[in-house]
A and B are shown apart, each in its own frame.
Chain A
Amino acid sequence: KQEVTQIPAALSVPEGENLVLNCSFTDSAIYNLQWFRQDPGKGLTSLLLIQSSQREQTSGRLNASLDKSSGRSTLYIAASQPGDSATYLCAVLTQGGSEKLVFGKGTKLTVNP
C-alpha cells in the first residue's frame, strides 16, 4: 500500500529565503509525482508533474526533483514571497492497477514579509 509523507508539516520563513519541501513515498513503482498548491478554502492548483522517467521539472521559481529509487522528491522554492504562503501537497500515481493519486498531508508554508 502506497504511503506518502511530507516533512515538515509546517514551515515559516522570512521573505526572500530559498526553501525546500520534502516528500517521500513507500512504493517506487509510480507513473508520476505531482506537486500541488492549496490556498485556504480553495481547490488544488497543479504546480509541477514529474514523470517517473524524469529527474526534475522547473517552472519559474519552482524546481521539483524526483529520486524514484529512494522514494523521494523535493520542491525547491527560490526567493520566497508572501504570496507563496499556502499548503503544498505531494501526490503519487502508483502503477499496477488502481489509478488513484495518493496524497501526503501537506506542508503549510508561511512566508513573512
Chain B
Amino acid sequence: NAGVMQNPRHLVRRRGQEARLRCSPMKGHSHVYWYRQLPEEGLKFMVYLQKENIIDESGMPKERFSAEFPKEGPSILRIQQVVRGDSAAYFCASSRQGGNTEAFFGQGTRLTVV
C-alpha cells in the first residue's frame, strides 16, 4: 500500500506563473488535508477536502489559491500568479475518515518562486 504521493517534489516558478501541486491519497482514503510550511515556521493548515467537497478552507489565502479533490484523480492545490512569498513546502495528508483518525503525510512539494 503506497503512502501519500505528492508531485512534483520540487517546483520552480517565475513570479506571475501558476503552480499546480498534486496529491494522491493512500488507497482507501477519501479525506485530504493541505498544509503549508513557510521557512522557519511551523506547518499551517490550509484546506480540508473530501471527494468533490471542500469541508474547511479557513486556512487558505482568499485570493490566488484554490483546491479541489475530484471524484477521480488526485487532489490539486492551485496557486495562480505566484509571488515570492508563496515559496514554501506544501504538504498533503490523507485519512480514511474524518474526526479522530490518524492522518498520513506525503513527502511534500517544495515550491520556489524566482
Contact = CB atoms under 8 A, between A and B. Distances in A.
A105 B41 contact: yes
Q: Which of B42, B59, B110 has the most CB of A within 10 A?
A: B42
A101 B100 contact: no
Given A44-B105, A46-B104, A100 B33 contact: yes
A102 B48 CA distance: 13
A89 B100 contact: no
Contacts of B55: 99
Contact of A98 (B56, B91, B104, B107): B56
B45 A44 contact: no
Contacts of A60: none
Interface residues of B, number: 25
B56 A100 contact: yes
Interface string A22-62: 00000000011010100001111010010100000000000
B107 A43 contact: yes
Interface string B49-66: 000000110110000000
Interface of A: 4, 31-32, 34, 36, 41-44, 46, 49, 51, 89, 91, 93, 98-106
Interface of B: 33, 35, 41-45, 48, 55-56, 58-59, 91, 93, 98-100, 102-108, 110
22 contacts: A34-B102, A36-B105, A43-B91, A43-B107, A43-B108, A44-B91, A46-B104, A49-B102, A51-B100, A89-B42, A98-B56, A99-B55, A99-B56, A99-B99, A100-B33, A100-B56, A101-B33, A101-B93, A103-B35, A103-B44, A104-B42, A105-B42
